[in-house]
Structure 1
Amino acid sequence: MNESPEEADSDRQSERDESHESNDALSLSRRTYFEALGVAGLAGLASVPEPTLASSGIHSVGNGSYTHEKPSGEGEPPATRYTTGNVGAPLPSNDWWSSALATQYSENLFFHPGFALANDTGLKVGHPTTWNYPNEDAKMNVQRDFTLGHTATTFSDTRVDGHSDWSVTLKWGSGTATTLTASLTKGSPYVFCEFEGGGAELGFRTAPTVWADRGNVLGLTHEGNHYGLFAPSGDDWSGVGSATLTNGLSGGYLTIAILPDGTSSTLDTFERYAYNFITDTGAGDATRVSPTYDRDAGEVRTTYSFNTTNKPESQVGGDATITGLYPHQHKYTDESLLGYTYECPRGTMETVSGASFTTTHPFRGVLPFLPDRGSYDDSELASYVGDVTAGYDNGQGSGTYWTGKDFGRMSEAAPIADQVGNAGKRDALHDAIRTELENWLTADGGESQNLFYYNDQWGTLIGYPDSYGAAGDLNDHHFHYGYFVRAAAELARTDESWGDDGNWGGMVDLLVRDYANWERPNRANAQEPADSPADSFPFLRNFSPYGGHSWAAGTAEFAGGNNQESSSEAIHAYAAMLQWAVFTGNDEMLNWAAYLYTHEVCSAMEYWFDVDDQNHPDEWGHDTAGIVWGIKYSYSTWFSADAEAIHGINYLPFGGHSLYLGWDSQLAERNYSEAVANDDNGGDWDYWQDIMWNYRAFSDVSDAKSMFQSAKGSYTPEAGETKAHTYHWIYNIDAMGNPDPSVTADYPLAYAFDDGSETTYVAYNGENSSITVTFSDGTALSVPANSMESSTGGDGGGSSDETPPTAPSNLRSPGHTDSSVDLAWDAASDSGGSGVDHYAVYVDETRSQQVPAGTTSTTVSGLASGTTYEFSVTAVDGAGNESSASNAVGVTTDASGGGDFSQRVTRIDGSDGDTATDELSFEFVSNVGSDWVDVHYTVNGGTQYNYRMNNPSGDTHTLETSPDYVVGDFSSGDRIEYYFTYQHDGTASDTGWFSLTY
């Protein structure tokens, strides 16, 4: 069939639509609500009628549950799915070809090096090769070279007939005797086609130049693009010299190859593999990714394999094919390259042949948080921690995304509260996370919101209220649920039982599976998450195994293909998965999480940041992509044109997972400088100030510190940040230097930092027993169970010091209040050569604080009133060796006194002329106007001494012990128990007992 005038008009309109495409083309896509609604619109969401509650169909998973009953009034993905009987749920949304599932035909499908578009005639095919630059974008041309059609008919729709890890088979005429199928594979230059009830017709825009005519095989060029057509033997082509080529295809199959050049030798090479069909029927394994996280080597090895069906004309046996490798692949492989290349929107594709190829990427680690080694003022940091709100508090409205952001805010702040000794704030943050998370992970019969619904038509969990099309279009599940999993990991880090499958771990696993199911579903099994979780979700929903990164749009209904904006939030999702795997002991999940994290990071560096300045076109006026599309890069976001937002959305959220942003300080400088140059205020940040400061620390930490100090009293933290975390982040980078990408470790939660003169080694042990983490430069770090350890070496070399320091001695408590305990000890010594690096403070046998060497005192705050705690201290040397514990000290915090009083006891020097600190000062502040107060105390359980407190000053009553007055002259280790009797409304009232160890 020749191209009809209507089809030609459709082509031209499609090209016009593509060239003027904007990022708000899909109204429910990520963050479009910001533009469409504005502030008033967000406020107006409250007027939307509340959905009715889900009352049945609830399935329990441990302590949690989900529902099969969608709350009335809520959205869900399209009920019409364009599939044949070979394909069923769970369906792979968020892929490069997912528009074929949701639309009658498809949107543009960018399989690189080619593109395709299904319509009623068949399949339009082209080879984008040139760049243009509309509206801050860099996009390759999208122009059809020809339409592959059927000689007998046109079609009412196109359906997905099969798929595997990075390939898809489309079918026209399903259920009839006149059909066309076309199989497209990411990275493959081949399109494999099969016909029933007729032959093939290729309608070109203009007559192609045929430079090789071998009867059934043609080599041709159309407007600079080269193709090979490979029909069965004996099936010769007709129409040579015209714009329409036809072939009766008595054999019923055809291969079209995009050729890298127009030479006969190249045609020969591609013909050898052209009859090895990569074709999917149902959910098959025509393409398959297999990663291995090698802990000892500190690397991720990934094998990409093909399973082909070979036609009689095949000239190579087995499953061999030719495929193009993206930069994130060919830079990390030792495979022999063919020498043929293609230019595509991701840069230069190199080609290999064979049934498989393997890449090897270094795995550089993830930290759950940064250590306490910052150059900050401890009291200032503690004050910022005290200001952190424990509870839902971002002011942005409800929904999965903003709830997730708040989870992230609290999850990053809780460990810092622990480091400053504010156990009360730490516990309050954990309690707030736990309460909100458990609410979301439970679908009660009386609930209509803050629950998860399972849609079995697509195979997905949807949280209501959703955000930014997460329900109706299946957008952004990795962005949103990644924050939920991060929060769950923070709880499991400190409470292992919480993450048990029988408690809340089973529901968290389902959230992970929704965006990153690490097992391929067996669609012959029942589709019920509670009973068959692996079979209820598609394989790696958001992640594109061949593309090396995630896609955000669920149905991908864009002329520009699928897209992803926030590379950093995708990375955060896989880092959260990795931490969850470590803290719950799931090695299989960990293997896949390490692969996903590593590749998402590598792709972010290649395609969003263009680390080597090779993948973005030189003529484009930008070095950074705010959004990566199938066919283009956009210097924009879905929600703001501000340069601060464009760059910042690919930085946030900051945490121990985002250290990759500091691997290359020159790149960090280049990227930051571009943001400054394009910012309306020239770098006087006013949108996400703290996000920009955090990133600036990697290229100029002094500037980051200066900006923070100048604005710390007036700025408003970004919704997922806190002032405590920003201060902690910048000043830790100041103290340790940038993360060192040249050093890996044999444990996933470990990192090395280099400030130019020395290396700092950090590891968090998520196991229940001590481990030794060995870094690739030979340094060994001993890490106690469920705790973080760090040490600093002069040149980063390995340490031969295996001798731990002596234990700190004479641990004592000089004073305490109703919420804090002061501790002091005598210094430890180290004979192993690396020196004491820091002290570890334990509260009830759990590590609470890290105190720098040279400091032998601290305050543990945030404690419960009227509660007895046991304290001990160890010393850790520069090689990571930890001493035995000091003497244990038990201290009871002051009771609240029902609001009647507060009290404090401190160590003081005596008045007997000696120089020892061997006395106590008792202080009692009455809130009820007591005329007198008595103190009663015993020493080591002996005689009780009773004294009227002297020197009243208003409501403050004090008594200082000394050998000349009352019993004192205490020795280290003495246990003093005491209580007060105070006058109240003419009667005597007793407090409860308190205790301290001298």
Structure 2
Amino acid sequence: MASKLNTVTLILFTIITFSSLIPQTQARLLLSRPAPNPETPTRFAFPESQSTVLPDPSQFFTSDLLSTPLPTNSFFQNFVLGNGDNPEYFHPYQIKSSGSSLSLSYPNRIPTTTSILQNFTADLTISATQDYADYQQQGHGVSSFNDLSVTLDFPSSNLRFFLVRGSPYLTFFVNNPTALSISTGHAISSFSSNAARDKYTLKLNNDQTWLLYSSSAIDFTNSDPSSISTSDQFYGIIRIALLPGSENESVLDHFCACYPMSGEAVFKEEPFSLEYRWKKTNGDLLMLAHPLHIKLLQNNVTVLEKFKYGSIDGDLVGVVGNSWVLKTPALPVTWHSIKVVKDKASHTEIISALSRDVEALISTPISNTDSYSYGKLTAKAARLALIAEEVDFVHVIPAITKFLKDAIEPWLDGTFNGDGFLYEGSWGGLVTQNGALDKGADYGFGVYNDHHYHIGYFLYSISVLTKMDPAWGMKYRDQAYALAADFMNLNSTLDAKYTRLRNFDLYSLHSWAGGVTEFGDGRNQESSSEAVNAYYSAALMGLAYKDDNLTAIGSLLAALEIQATQTWWHVHQGDNMYEDVFASENKITGIVWSNKRDAGLWFAAPESRECRLGIQVLPISPITEALFSNVSYVRELVSWTMPALEGASEAWKGFAYALEGMYNKEEALEKIRNLKGFDDGNSLTNLLWWIHSRG
């Protein structure tokens, strides 16, 4: 093994030394295709804010990174919050930092009827044995990050960890001669090396076997039942991997010399395509793909179907290839229903409801002024305008557009009374006036919670207004693009004030919503449908402004979010994704965490099935057709939900009846006609439009 790894150690050292000098914004990929519209928007600056509630990132990020926008929903977010000692999941290992040591865990899954949890146990802990005076005081720092990786430095331990998502090996560089210790929370049952002393086999009493590869000979001694230590100082590369079955040892041996240091996702020219590219050493690269990767993989890679690790996201399968191309089915992004309302009698009923809903709209100012509720209510009004256009009842559109202008313009020009969007520079993004002072205000918008949800609703309304009144759209184009950049930025020079894709995870292929808040179970997202709505709305904004690039990126992200939702939020018993004890009781998840699946919601218990269905459906729009394309699953989901509708609020019932209308149109229609109330982002008009467009 030494002959393979040693040849790249000096090359790696050179790369490491000089890569730290490259600004992070240059290291990340820029969007290759400029917007075709020659009138590109200028960078609009919302007023500056000094937040009193955000954590200080300077404790963890290197100084060069502090001058760039920082991620606020990232796969490594726990590493840069609080003490930085909550674990994050990297597929297939959980990683946890404590002091100047790093622990990894190949987690067990604990399934119940209401949750599936990956627990953290320190299977192995890597540390230096030097007795520095400040050894325990110094922690880690983030020296670089990108779409698929983060680099953690432990200065007092002389250790640099390349945490690349989906790597079956944990790879680290000992950048100065250092004595090392590797300990376990279990007991070591056997310990051996090959003749060259560059491969060690470590068997634990929990039936795990770990393999250790080094770039040169290294001497470990089994000093006590729970640790091994080097007898001398070591300099070079070490890779550690759990052995997933004895038959796979030769696979790990074969690919141990080629390792990734970082990885990026590239948006391809070809529609609905994404490519993973890794910075790596010479040789063939072995990585792990989750089930959605396997479904979408397109290019000439080798899939090792028998080389598997377990994970909460399903089996992780070995893939050999220096890049991956992922392609999702094309997604129709349309203003109006995919299945048009053809029956003129249906038009009559929709128009009757539309007249009443528009009258109520223009006579009732928006009273909920938090950014989420406000945006949701404007999107509700925008739906009425599009439905009016679809059923040719256009004379109400001017009243709706006036309502929308009066409602939205104060948020865009800074005159909204009591709240409004601001820019804060410590992390690089938008907050609200209230959110800058109170982390609980605006549903946590000020601590970067749910940005794609809130802004997605605003983008939907702005897009519809721009469609109806292009002159208005051009007047507020810069503000609209500044809002979109907060969560849609791909690091173009235009949007350098915002981090890259604030919410969307380019390895998991869906969004996270939790912001800069520590969670022991990692990142989380509750409402998958509102995430879909955010990228759908961005795509519509591209249509409204004739920006093909924005439409293409929004459509791709919406398509990936839909694929991920159908994979991990929609529960199918018997597909081996989740254990039967969970899948038999749940047809849809409440919250997907990086380390957990939860049947409960932030606002409701697992028993509130109507809430679980509703929060994964709203808002109902043309894209809902694609999100719930599996009608047999929809039938199972509605049947599972129906008992909970007894005594449920009218608002939640509406979403269940809407799905029922996909296979039982007439009965669902009658139920909708008898509803006494609606969700604040929904309306009778919208539900009738949906049902009558079922065909």
- Aligned pair partner of 1:198 in 178, 195, 198: 178
- 2:33 match: none
Deviations 1:269-296 (A, max 9, x none): 32443343433xxxxxx2111233645x
| 1:188 corresponds to 2:153 | no
Kindly report the root-mean-square deviation, in angstroms, between the aligned alpha carbons of the 2 structures.
Answer: 2.5
Query: Which AA in structure 2 matches 1:261?
Result: G
- Between the aligned partners of 1:137 and 1:394, the Cα distance in structure 2 is 41
In structure 2, the CA distance between the partners of 1:221 and 1:602, relative to structure 1 (3 Å rule), is farther
- 1:792 match: none
Segments of 5+ residues of structure 1 without an aligned counterpart are: 1-60, 280-285, 311-316, 522-531, 737-998
- 1:400 match: 371
What TM-score does the superposition give when structure 1 sets the normalisation length?
0.60
- 1:957 match: none
Query: Which AA in structure 1 matches 2:142?
Result: V
Query: Which AA in structure 1 matches 2:540?
Result: Q
- Between the aligned partners of 1:426 and 1:372, the Cα distance in structure 2 is 19
- 2:432 match: 463
- 1:548 match: 509
- 1:356 match: 323
- Aligned pair partner of 1:592 in 530, 553, 567: 553
Alignment of 1:63-82 (within 5 A): 66-70=46-50, 75-81=52-58, 82=60
Query: Which AA in structure 2 matches 1:243?
Result: S
CA contact (8 A) 1:460 1:514 kept: yes
SS of the residue corresponding to residue 479 of structure 2 reads: helix
Query: Which AA in structure 1 matches 2:352?
Result: S
Alignment of 1:258-273 (within 5 A): 258-263=242-247, 266-273=248-255
Instruction: Give the deviation of 1:422 after TM superposition.
Output: 3.9
CA contact (8 A) 1:569 1:653 kept: yes
SS of the residue corresponding to residue 484 of structure 2 reads: helix
- Between the aligned partners of 1:78 and 1:260, the Cα distance in structure 2 is 39
SS of the residue corresponding to residue 66 of structure 1 reads: coil
Segments of 5+ residues of structure 2 without an aligned counterpart are: 1-40, 436-440
CA contact (8 A) 2:521 2:596 kept: yes
- 1:681 match: 646
In structure 2, the CA distance between the partners of 1:591 and 1:147, relative to structure 1 (3 Å rule), is same
Alignment of 1:281-296 (within 5 A): 286-292=262-268, 294=270
Deviations 1:393-441 (A, max 9, x none): 5977211101111121011111222344443421111122122222111
- Between the aligned partners of 1:394 and 1:168, the Cα distance in structure 2 is 47
- Between the aligned partners of 1:75 and 1:397, the Cα distance in structure 2 is 24
CA contact (8 A) 1:194 1:252 kept: yes
- Between the aligned partners of 1:680 and 1:592, the Cα distance in structure 2 is 38
In structure 2, the CA distance between the partners of 1:137 and 1:687, relative to structure 1 (3 Å rule), is farther
In structure 2, the CA distance between the partners of 1:293 and 1:640, relative to structure 1 (3 Å rule), is farther
CA contact (8 A) 1:127 1:145 kept: yes
- Between the aligned partners of 2:390 and 2:515, the Cα distance in structure 1 is 40
Query: Which AA in structure 1 matches 2:278?
Result: F
What TM-score does the superposition give when structure 2 sets the normalisation length?
0.85
Deviations 1:701-746 (A, max 9, x none): 233112113x14xx1111001111111111111xx2xxxxxxxxxx
In structure 2, the CA distance between the partners of 1:615 and 1:476, relative to structure 1 (3 Å rule), is same
- 2:478 match: 506
- Between the aligned partners of 1:639 and 1:392, the Cα distance in structure 2 is 31
- Between the aligned partners of 1:374 and 1:154, the Cα distance in structure 2 is 73
CA contact (8 A) 1:609 1:625 kept: yes
- 2:15 match: none
SS of the residue corresponding to residue 660 of structure 1 reads: helix
- Aligned pair partner of 1:520 in 482, 486, 491: 491
SS of the residue corresponding to residue 655 of structure 2 reads: helix
- 1:123 match: 102
- 1:873 match: none
Instruction: Give the deviation of 1:236 after TM superposition.
Output: 2.6
Alignment of 1:626-705 (within 5 A): 626-641=590-605, 642-677=608-643, 679=644, 681=646, 686-705=650-669
In structure 2, the CA distance between the partners of 1:542 and 1:240, relative to structure 1 (3 Å rule), is same
| 1:250 corresponds to 2:234 | yes
Name the structure, 1 or 2, with higher relative contact order (CA <8 Å, separation 6+): 2
SS of the residue corresponding to residue 93 of structure 1 reads: coil
- Between the aligned partners of 1:332 and 1:704, the Cα distance in structure 2 is 35
Instruction: Give the deviation of 1:132 after TM superposition.
Output: 2.8
Instruction: Give the deviation of 1:475 after TM superposition.
Output: 0.6
CA contact (8 A) 1:219 1:267 kept: no
- Between the aligned partners of 2:402 and 2:251, the Cα distance in structure 1 is 64
- Between the aligned partners of 2:467 and 2:420, the Cα distance in structure 1 is 24
- 1:385 match: 354
Query: Which AA in structure 2 matches 1:432?
Result: F
| 1:150 corresponds to 2:163 | no
In structure 2, the CA distance between the partners of 1:191 and 1:676, relative to structure 1 (3 Å rule), is same
Deviations 1:271-325 (A, max 9, x none): 443343433xxxxxx2111233645xxxx222111112x3xxxxxx25x421111
Q: Which moved more, 1:491-500 or 1:631-640?
A: 491-500
- 1:238 match: 221
- Between the aligned partners of 1:273 and 1:442, the Cα distance in structure 2 is 56
- Between the aligned partners of 1:278 and 1:155, the Cα distance in structure 2 is 30
| 1:417 corresponds to 2:388 | yes
Deviations 1:835-883 (A, max 9, x none): xxxxxxxxxxxxxxxxxxxxxxxxxxxxxxxxxxxxxxxxxxxxxxxxx
Alignment of 1:34-73 (within 5 A): 66-70=46-50
Deviations 1:310-347 (A, max 9, x none): 3xxxxxx25x4211111111022243211211110011
Deviations 1:244-291 (A, max 9, x none): 12234522432222332235xx33432443343433xxxxxx211123
CA contact (8 A) 1:151 1:201 kept: yes
Instruction: Give the deviation of 1:86 after TM superposition.
Output: 4.3
Bigger strand share: 1
SS of the residue corresponding to residue 675 of structure 1 reads: helix
In structure 2, the CA distance between the partners of 1:495 and 1:622, relative to structure 1 (3 Å rule), is same
CA contact (8 A) 2:487 2:501 kept: yes
CA contact (8 A) 2:188 2:225 kept: yes
- 1:473 match: 447
Instruction: Give the deviation of 1:145 after TM superposition.
Output: 0.7
In structure 2, the CA distance between the partners of 1:440 and 1:62, relative to structure 1 (3 Å rule), is farther
Instruction: Give the deviation of 1:480 after TM superposition.
Output: 0.5
| 1:329 corresponds to 2:293 | yes
CA contact (8 A) 2:43 2:482 kept: no
Query: Which AA in structure 2 matches 1:613?
Result: D
CA contact (8 A) 1:122 1:155 kept: no
In structure 2, the CA distance between the partners of 1:65 and 1:251, relative to structure 1 (3 Å rule), is closer
In structure 2, the CA distance between the partners of 1:375 and 1:543, relative to structure 1 (3 Å rule), is same
- Counting aligned pairs with the same residue, the percent is 21
| 1:428 corresponds to 2:399 | yes
Instruction: Give the deviation of 1:651 after TM superposition.
Output: 0.5
Instruction: Give the deviation of 1:671 after TM superposition.
Output: 1.4
- Between the aligned partners of 2:387 and 2:645, the Cα distance in structure 1 is 34
Deviations 1:41-65 (A, max 9, x none): xxxxxxxxxxxxxxxxxxxx87975
- Between the aligned partners of 1:358 and 1:294, the Cα distance in structure 2 is 11
Bigger helix share: 2
CA contact (8 A) 2:151 2:163 kept: yes
- Between the aligned partners of 1:602 and 1:416, the Cα distance in structure 2 is 27
In structure 2, the CA distance between the partners of 1:210 and 1:430, relative to structure 1 (3 Å rule), is farther
Instruction: Give the deviation of 1:564 after TM superposition.
Output: 0.2
In structure 2, the CA distance between the partners of 1:105 and 1:721, relative to structure 1 (3 Å rule), is same
Deviations 1:748-795 (A, max 9, x none): xxxxxxxxxxxxxxxxxxxxxxxxxxxxxxxxxxxxxxxxxxxxxxxx
Instruction: Give the deviation of 1:359 after TM superposition.
Output: 2.0
- Aligned pair partner of 1:494 in 454, 468, 479: 468
- 2:35 match: none
Aligned residues: 627
SS of the residue corresponding to residue 331 of structure 1 reads: helix
Instruction: Give the deviation of 1:150 after TM superposition.
Output: 1.7
- Between the aligned partners of 2:269 and 2:380, the Cα distance in structure 1 is 30
Query: Which AA in structure 2 matches 1:226?
Result: T
Q: Which moved more, 1:468-477 or 1:578-587?
A: 468-477
In structure 2, the CA distance between the partners of 1:185 and 1:469, relative to structure 1 (3 Å rule), is farther
CA contact (8 A) 1:116 1:125 kept: yes
In structure 2, the CA distance between the partners of 1:623 and 1:199, relative to structure 1 (3 Å rule), is farther
* Max Rg structure: 1
